[in-house]
Structures are given as C-alpha cells and as structure tokens.
Amino acid sequence: MKNLIITNNPAVAEKNNNTVLFVDGSVEETLIMVRDKVHSGYELISHPLAASLRMMFSPFRSVILGKKSNKIDAFSAEIIEDSIIKYKRHMDFRKKDSANCEDYKMIDLILLESAIHEQAVTW
C-alpha cells in the first residue's frame, strides 16, 4: 500500500513516488489539510510535528498518512488536533523564516525520508 503524503514542500512533491497531496500554502494550512483527512478516515503514519523547536519554525512540513477506513482513528485525531494547537501557540506571532527556505526544504525532505524508512512494512 502506498502512503499519502501531505506537504507544502515543493522538494517533496517533486521527488516522491508516493501519492502526494500538495498544499499550496502555509504549514498551518498543511496541518489543517492533515486534520481534514484524518477526520475523513485516514490514519497518521508520521507525527505532524518535528522533534525540535527550530523545525517548528520551518515554513515547510510534510506528513505521512496511511490507510483510509470508514472509521475515524481516534488516536490520530487527538494527535493532529493537539499538534495544531501546539503549532499555533508557537507560530501565531512569528514571521516566516524565509531566509533559509532552501535549507528547510532539504531538511524537511530528509526527515520525511527517514520517516518513510522507519516503517517496517508498506504493502
């Protein structure tokens, strides 16, 4: 099964073999798209947030979704809702760090690839 990757990172959209849903917008809009997908039955494969504050400031974010089912995955829903709250708490008052866009694109892509690699099985 192929994953669905939701991203606003053009570098990810260009490169990936998985199904990519490109969000032409901010990280917040990307996370909201993830939320909408989770509420329509997709499960989260990767956590919507990164592991460091500095990556929270990244203008690019990619999230991996897995299977879609008829039932909402409550665990995924809780995590994406919490992530949006946490993200907004940090970013609502900030300007975009646009000076380092290319580096952020690259690291977002590399971290995404690590996450894809982390999955034991994809069928």
Partner 1 sequence: MKLEIGRIYIKDIQLGNETSVKDGVLTVDKDGLISNLKEDERIRDVVIDVAKPGEKVRIIPVKDVIEPRVKVQGGNNGFPGVTSKQAQCGEGRTHVLYGAAVVTVGDIVGFQEGVIDMWGEGAKWTPFSKTYNLTVDIQVAAGLNPHTHEETVRIAGLRVAEFIGLAGENLTPDEVLTFEIGSIFEETAKYPDLPKVVYAEMNITQGLLHDTYIYGVNQSGILPALLHANEELDNAVISGNCVAACDKITTYQHQNNSVIYDLYAQHGKEINFLGVIMVPEHTTLAGKLRASDYTVKLAKMLGADAVVVSEEGYGNPDSDLLMICKKCEKSGIKTVLITDECAGRDGMSQPLADTAVEAVAVVSGGNVSHVVTLPPADKVIGNAAAISVLSGGWEGSLLEDGTLMCELNAVIGATSEIGFHNVTCRLY
- Residues near partner 1 (CB under 8 A): 44-58, 64, 75-76, 79, 81-83, 85-86, 89-90, 93-97, 99-100, 102-104, 106-107, 110-111, 113-115, 118-120
Q: For residue 90, which amino acid is it? A: H
CA distances, 123 to each of 1, 2, 5, 57 (Å): 4, 7, 16, 34
Tell me how far, at minimum, the Cβ of 36 lies from partner 1, in Å: 18
Indicate the residue among 20 and 49 with the shorter CB distance to partner 1: 49
In eight-state DSSP terms, residue 41 is T
Q: Which helix (H) or strand (E) holds 22?
A: strand 19-22
Provide, rounded to whole angstroms, the least separation between the CB of residue 34 and partner 1.
13
Nearest approach, Cβ of 15 to partner 1 (angstroms)? 15
Shortest spacing between CB 11 and partner 1, in angstroms: 13
Tokens describing residue 49: 């947030």
- Is the Cβ of residue 30 or residue 46 nearer to partner 1 in the bound state? 46
Q: Are 7 and 30 spatial neighbours (Cβ–Cβ below 8 Å)?
A: yes
